Amino acid sequence: MGGKFISFEGPEGGGKSTHAAALAETLRAEGKTVLVTREPGGTRLAELIRGLVREELDDPPVTRAEVLLFLAARAQVVANVIKPALARGEWVLCDRFSDSTFAYQGYGRGIDVQLLKELNDFATEGLVPDLTILLDVPPEVSRERIAERQRATSTSADRIEAAGEAFHKRLREGFLALAKAEPERFAVIDSSGDPAEVDRMIREAVRGS
Ligand code: T5A
């Protein structure tokens, strides 16, 4: 049987990387071949774009350019990494995918979500995850986890993390609205609690998908 394509979404610090790695371990222990990738990123070109969109530049991308940069990175990882892995029958876990564009550039930055969906379809050749795990955390938990990571790694907020409180509130609401519109694809999981319990809920969502 072929593998599934599962995306992890949600506000910053929701635990996407942590819980995607844990799910990969579980699936591998069951004998499945699992590819874990991230967005933007996952190929050399897409990783270069990741650096560009997160950096504080003298010439930061205007919103339309930001959209196109994320979509260029997505087109690259879909064509060269995700689709080939799915064609080989592997499971693919992706840390962020299309819903991040709808939430951040749509609900967050105010670009029309329908237009974004059309542009995104072009970039992904219509590829949609079989299951999207939305790791939901309130803004205060998100802020605290980002601050903790910055303290631990002696780094500062990137350009998008540094966007204001109202932006982060809008994008969380955006993710929840996207999930409400497609309940059959999304599993919304409260990620503010015990990590082991979050992992258990994720495994349950995957089994039920
Ligand atoms: N972006 C991206 C767009 O604007 N548009 C797009 O189309 C796309 C694809 C990408 C940035 O680009 C933007 C969104 C982002 O701003 P990123 O690195 O993918 O950047 O995104 P971040 O969300 O910033 O990644 P983070 O690493 O901050 O968040 P994660 O992966 O959600 O969280 P994780 O796993 O690193 O965990 C963060 C901390 O919380 C702890 C972990 O140990 C860690 O310290 N933690 C928990 N603690 C308690 N309970 C739990 N359940 C926990 N889970 C994790």
For 58-103, what is each residue's pLDDT tens digit? Answer: 898 999 999 999 999 999 999 999 999 999 999 999 999 999 999 9
Tokens matching residue 125? 């050749």
Distances (CA, A) of 17 to 39, 107, 165, 184: 11, 23, 23, 23
Provide the 10 A C-beta neighbour count for residue 155.
Answer: 11
pLDDT surpasses 90 at 40: yes
Q: Which residues line ligand 1 (CB under 6 A)?
A: 12-18, 39-40, 70, 95-96, 100-101, 104-105, 145-146, 148-149, 160-161, 191, 195, 198
Q: Which domains does the chain have, with CATH numbers?
A: 5-207 (3.40.50.300)
pLDDT surpasses 70 at 27: yes
Is the pTM value of this prediction over 0.75?
Answer: yes
Return the best residue to mutate from 8, 12, 69 for the ligand 1 pocket (most ligand atoms within 8 A of CB).
12
Starting at the edge strand found earlier in the chain, the sheet holding 131-136 runs 34-38, 91-95, 5-9, 131-136, 186-190
